[in-house]
Amino acid sequence: MQRPFLAMSLAATLAAAVVSTSARADDGPLALMEHGRLRRAVALAETRIKSKPDDVEALRVLATIRAQQRRFNEATKLAERAVAAAPADADAHYALAQVAGMHAQASSVLKQPGLAGRFRKEAEKALALNPNHEDAIEGLIEFHRQAPGIMGGDKKKGAAFVDRLVQVNPTAGWLVKTDIAFDEKDTTLAESFLRKAVAAKGEPRAKISLASWLIQPWRNPDEAERLAREAVEAEPWRVGGWSLLAARQAYQKRWPELEVTLTRAEAAIPGNLGPHYQAARVMVTEKTDPARAEALLRRYLTVEPEIGQPSYAGAHWRLAQALEQQGRKPEALAELRTALKLDSKLEGAKQDLKRLKG
């Protein structure tokens, strides 16, 4: 689920986004977006809109992805077209709410009240049309938790919506409770909620969220690996499970197993090399095999990153670190300059460039 007013917790950072929807074709733009294949979803949505300008599914999918890319003006127009084409469609109203919510997060203090108000208005419309609309319930939970009273925020209403979400979808409800617990820095409670989310229905997204929390060496990485394996077997399109497995195997230097995992991941999620990046990141940060990390990062740079996956800039920065660890300072400096040319705000690359230049 998308959470416009919520910074995702550590436990959910690797989980694929899921959007509650009405029935849709398994090969349509919505299914592609749900499965993390956002570039293909964009291409298909654009094609469908050209042939049918009032294609509601294509309009709201493209609006959601454009908002993720911070192309908010375009996203707003697309979502407004979806609502105009289907004013009784709860999903269309929530797409517009979602765009407004993401825009609010990225806007100045002066613009936030208006955008937050629009988020609430459209989310409430979605909920009026579909009282069990999970995304609308979840979005309103975060609105009431985060928005000040002057903007309509009401923590009591937020708590009531949490209870409502647990009734509508226990998995989603416990994951929201997890995020709240993480926000309040109660990690013990958060883990207990993650376990309840897994126990509710055994959904792969919940298993990936729990595995993301447990993967650290001082928690329970063996359990994390088991959960990630279960998730990719059930829903192999979820990049989060593959990334966790790759990171775990890289950390333990299980190179043959890592090669198998990356090959399987490429087959399961074509065009998404996120697991390659995550394995290389572990190798670089742990300083275990910089040459192998270099090869994986160069492979990552041969394919346009999937929307939401690490950028080219980030890959060039990690590649610079792998080269430095091999004693190849001039090449490392060149990669750092490339990274900063692509993203001048990449702080890690800035610090490494300053250090290497002396």
| 66 sits in which H/E element | helix 56-68
Burial 251-264 (b: 16+ CB within 10 A, else e): beeeeeebeebbee
Contacts 24+ apart (CB under 8 A), 329-338: 329/356, 332/356, 333/357
Q: What is the pLDDT of residue 14?
A: 29
Distance, CA of 117 to chain centre? 24
Q: What pLDDT is recorded for position 25?
A: 53
**CA pair distance 23, 166, nearest whole angstrom:** 22
CA 260 – CA 246 distance, rounded (Å): 10
- Alpha-carbon span 39 to 54, nearest angstrom: 21
The reported pLDDT for the residue numbered 26 is: 62
Radius of gyration over every alpha carbon of the chain, rounded to an integer in angstroms: 21
The tokens describing 205, both together, are 């997204």
Using DSSP, state whether 153 is helix, strand or coil. Answer: coil
d(CA 336, CA 329): 10
d(CA 210, CA 204): 10
Q: Which residues contact 103 (CB under 8 A, 6 or more apart)?
A: 67, 72, 75, 76, 115
Residue corresponding to tokens 């993203």: 343
Q: How far apart are CA 163 and CA 244, in angstroms?
A: 31
Q: List, as one string, the DSSP characters of 158-219.
A: HHHHHHHHHHH-HHHHHHHHHHHHHHTT-HHHHHHHHHHHHHHH--HHHHHHHHHHHTSTTS
The pLDDT value given to residue 2: 40
Structure tokens, 347: 């702080």
Per-residue confidence in pLDDT tens, the chain, 358 aa: 344 433 322 223 323 333 443 434 568 999 999 999 999 999 999 999 999 999 999 999 999 999 999 999 999 999 999 999 999 999 999 999 999 999 999 999 889 899 999 999 999 999 999 999 999 999 999 999 988 888 888 999 999 999 999 999 999 999 999 999 999 999 999 999 999 999 999 999 999 999 999 999 999 999 999 999 999 999 999 999 999 999 999 999 999 999 999 999 999 999 999 999 999 999 999 999 999 999 999 999 999 999 989 999 999 999 999 999 999 999 999 999 999 999 999 999 999 999 999 8
Nearest CA to 324 among 334, 339, 338?
Answer: 334
Round to whole Å and give the CA distance between 301 and 312.
Answer: 7
Q: What are the tokens at 332?
A: 């490392």
Q: What is the pTM of this model?
A: 0.86
Specify whether the CB–CB gap between 298 and 283 falls below 8 A: no
The confidence score (pLDDT) of residue 153 equals 87
Distances (CA, A) of 248 to 234, 243, 261, 310: 19, 9, 11, 18
